[in-house]
Amino acid sequence: MLDDWLLSLEERLDPVLLFERFVGNSADGWQARILRSSAATMALRVCRQAGKSCCLATLAIVEMRKGGTVLVICPAERQAKELARKVREYLPMTDLVVERSTQTEIEVANGARLICVPSTGATIRGYTVDLLLIDEAAFCDDDSLIAVLPMVKDCGRTVFASTPAGRTGMFASLFLEPKPEVERIVVKGTEIPRLAARVERLRVALPPTKFRQEVEVEMLGGGENYFDIAAIERAVCDRKALELCLT
């Protein structure tokens, strides 16, 4: 009992310990940096399946422990529900008492709330939030992001997390036009030892440009070929041969 209390006190002071309890493994260095950051705005460009959403769910719980309101924006309803599910799964490992819980909203006894909505939802308005989490931000609709950013309190925080998807849009601009007040964290799959076997599998399975985007988090587009040249070549038909066949 006393041990539990001490652990809880330590976790209260260090979100990394809380994360490690949730995930059941030690946090990577980049995850610890995200969890311990106090930046008002963070932009995370990280390999797919690396553990971004787990970090966001932990940040949500840290804020909920303070009684705050957390708004999560995802590109689609399914992803919003998935993030809420992660938080619901972690909550029993904390001292927070859930009072009301739906697939997309959670309220706890200290007055804290978590609301997860898709960026396409027409109903994202009227909230005042302490923490805004934008998961898969590169795939969220920019107009919705512009609508939610003013809902963050002056002392609140915003975290954009995603794998990249080109060189246009709000998420890309956080990296292409960097501002000193935004803490940027870029993590390639090839830099995460825990993912070594998966990265090698994807290197073989994915078209090279897809691998560069999804694993090496390159922001392709503009002068770069988004599509794999070999795939484009395979897709282009020989018009002369086709005409000969048809005549």
> Which parts of this chain interact with ligand ADP (CB under 6 A)?
23, 25, 27-28, 31, 46, 48-54, 194
Closest approach of Cβ 144 to ligand ADP, in Å?
20
Q: What is the DSSP letter of 219?
A: -
Instruction: Please identify, using beta-carbon distances, which residue of 90 and 157 lies nearer to ligand ADP.
Output: 90
In this complex, which beta carbon is closest to ligand ADP, that of residue 23 or of residue 98?
23
Taking contact as CB under 5 A, which single stretch among the options 4-12, 17-25, 50-58, 123-131 is the one that binds Mg ion?
A: 50-58
* Cβ atoms < 10 Å from Cβ of 10: 11
Helix (H, G, I), strand (E, B) or coil at 62: helix
Cβ contact 157:131 at 8 Å: yes
Give the position of tokens 């309101």: 69
C-alpha to C-alpha distance for 22 and 64, rounded to whole angstroms = 15
- Stretch in the footprint of Mg ion (CB under 5 A) among 8-16, 52-60, 121-129, 179-187: 52-60
Residues 6 or more apart whose CB falls under 8 angstroms from that of 241 comprise none
Least spacing, CB of residue 2 vs ligand ADP, in Å = 28
**Using CB distances below 5 to 8 A depending on partner kind, what does residue 81 bind out of Mg ion, ligand ADP, none?**
none
Nearest residue by C-beta to Mg ion? 53
Q: Which residue, 54 or 62, is less far from Mg ion as judged by CB?
A: 54
CB 161 → ligand ADP: shortest distance, Å?
7
Instruction: Output the CA–CA distances (angstroms, integers) from residue 3 to 8, 10, 223, in the order listed.
Output: 8, 10, 58
Residue with Cβ nearer ligand ADP (21 or 107): 21
Compute the least distance from the CB of residue 87 to Mg ion, in Å: 13
What's the min distance (Å) between Cβ of 72 and ligand ADP?
12
15-20 long-range Cβ contacts below 8 angstroms, 24+ apart? 15/58, 15/59, 15/62, 18/58, 18/61, 18/62, 18/94, 19/54, 19/55, 19/58
Residue 25 Cβ, how far from ligand ADP at the closest point, in Å? 3
Quote the DSSP letter at residue 43.
E
* Structure letter (DSSP) for residue 195: G
Q: Report the residue closest to ligand ADP, judged by CB.
A: 51
- Write the Ramachandran bin of 158: left for phi over 0, alpha for psi from -120 to 50, otherwise beta: beta
Q: Which of 53, 94, 104, 209 binds Mg ion (CB under 5 A)?
A: 53
Residue 51 contacts which entry, Mg ion, ligand ADP, none (Cβ below 5-8 A, type-dependent): ligand ADP
Contacts with Mg ion by CB under 5 A lie at 53
